[in-house]
Chain A
């Protein structure tokens, strides 16, 4: 754990920026939203989720054993279960358990 002050600063900034984004439309866009912002609001969410998935794999090595196999297998599991049941909780919990079993018992 990093020190308390730094932790508080990170939390404060995250909270402030989150709130600012939620308030922004009510503060400045009530007379119309600039087109580039509307466009970004439309496409960015899709790109960001792709980015976050890759971000989660940032410390996974694909050039040394086990070549990212636990991650890729667990992701495949999540995709299949989610396509099948469309139940977020089941997919997240199931995927996490699947990954934990893989790294604790299979690819030790």
Chain B
């Protein structure tokens, strides 16, 4: 075996190991994406859309909660301005992921665009782990990981439409999957938030706007109201966070866990 062939075999084994390691790391996301994706598919078919629509949305949008919201925007025939604003509000947290990964993804070359495109919450949490498995090509590993997660999501989306439309069941109330998902995320955020003021701001302002406007128009005033309120509350919030930290410290002083 000459040197060049040896190099190729080594590359092959790294290549294989990279795929294997990416697959292993992606496993925790697999079940979650397939099931949540199916929830989306069931909602979508309930509004009269067939599986190619789910495929299209899963491939091009690829965002969990936003796709649930998109079903609603589709069903309501929302204006493109509302769609734009809603997407910005729901997805703005992803700005943070990019900012966090600026350095890490800097030299990813040709893999970079897709890695950025596929930066969902779950993929972000996997790629931002500090340690990398041994004997893998770093950027290919992130690339495959992103691609595997994306494919689980697409499979779930399409399966949801197919299963939802092939079983005759009374679908009344199935829309609640979206509410349930948001309540779950709300509870999780509530538990880890330094201050509850932003969460309460979101609820109160939206509820007030719903009382003042009708169901089709209250969202834009809510978003403007929330953004303004958050800037006005900035100082108050910093103080709340500080007192929270102090009481946390006090608690830690008493408890030992």
* A residues at B contact (CB < 8 Å): 1-2, 6-7, 9-15, 17-19, 21-26, 29-30, 33, 36-59, 70-71, 74-75, 78-79, 82-83, 86, 88-89, 91-93, 95-96, 99-100, 102-104
Contact of B226 among A23, A47, A79 (CB under 8 A): A47
Q: Give Cα distance in the complex from A50 to B89, angstroms.
A: 12
* 25 pairs from A and B in contact (CB 8 Å cutoff): A11-B60, A11-B61, A11-B70, A13-B80, A15-B57, A17-B84, A18-B61, A23-B116, A25-B99, A39-B234, A40-B92, A42-B96, A48-B89, A50-B202, A55-B206, A55-B219, A58-B215, A70-B173, A71-B179, A75-B179, A83-B187, A89-B31, A89-B35, A96-B180, A99-B173
Q: Does B149 contact A (CB under 8 A)?
A: no
User: With A and B bound together, what is the CA distance between A79 and B205 in angstroms?
Assistant: 22
Other A-B contacts than A51-B202, A71-B179, A89-B31, 20 sampled, CB-CB below 8 A, are: A21-B92, A29-B102, A40-B92, A41-B96, A43-B237, A45-B189, A48-B90, A49-B185, A49-B199, A50-B203, A58-B218, A75-B179, A78-B183, A78-B184, A86-B188, A88-B32, A91-B180, A96-B39, A100-B170, A100-B176
For residue B94, give the distance in angstroms from its CB to the closest CB of chain A. 5
B140 interface residue per 8 A CB criterion: no
State how many angstroms separate the Cβ of A104 from the closest Cβ of chain B.
6
Residue of B nearest to A17 (CB): B87
Whether A10 lies near B83 (C-beta < 8 A) is yes
1/0 contact trace for B27-49 toward A, CB 8 Å?
A: 00001100110010000000111
Q: Are A49 and B173 in contact (CB-based, < 8 A)?
A: no
**Given A13-B80, A91-B180, are A52 and B69 neighbors across the interface (CB < 8 Å)?**
yes
Contacts of A100 in B (CB 8 A): 170, 172-174, 176
Q: Are A14 and B66 in contact (CB under 8 A)?
A: yes
State the main secondary structure of chain A at its contact with B. helix
Q: Are B99 and A18 in contact (CB under 8 A)?
A: no
Which residues from chain B sit less than 8 Å from chain A, CB to CB? 31-32, 35-36, 39, 47-49, 53, 56-57, 60-63, 65-66, 69-70, 73-75, 77-78, 80, 83-84, 87-99, 102, 105, 112, 116-117, 119, 170, 172-174, 176-189, 193, 198-203, 205-207, 210, 215, 218-219, 222-223, 226-227, 230-231, 234, 237
Distance A53 CA – B183 CA, assembled complex (angstroms): 6
Q: Which residues of A contact B112 (CB under 8 A)?
A: 26
A16 to B222, CA, bound (A): 23
B-chain residues with CB within 8 Å of residue A57 when the two chains form the complex: 179
Chain B residues within 8 Å of A40, by CB: 92, 227, 230
Q: B98, A17: Cβ atoms under 8 Å?
A: no
Contact B199 A46 (CB under 8 A): yes
Ranked 7 nearest A-B pairs via Cβ: A50-B202, A25-B98, A47-B202, A1-B48, A95-B180, A100-B173, A99-B176
Q: What residue of chain B has the Cβ atom nearest to residue A56's Cβ? A: B179
Closest residue on chain A to residue B186 by CB atoms = A49
Residue among B96, B210, B218 having the largest count of chain A Cβ atoms under 10 Å: B96
B181 to chain A, nearest CB (A): 5
Given A14-B70, A56-B179; A50-B83 close (CB under 8 Å):
no
Say yes or no: A49 contacts B74, CB within 8 Å: no
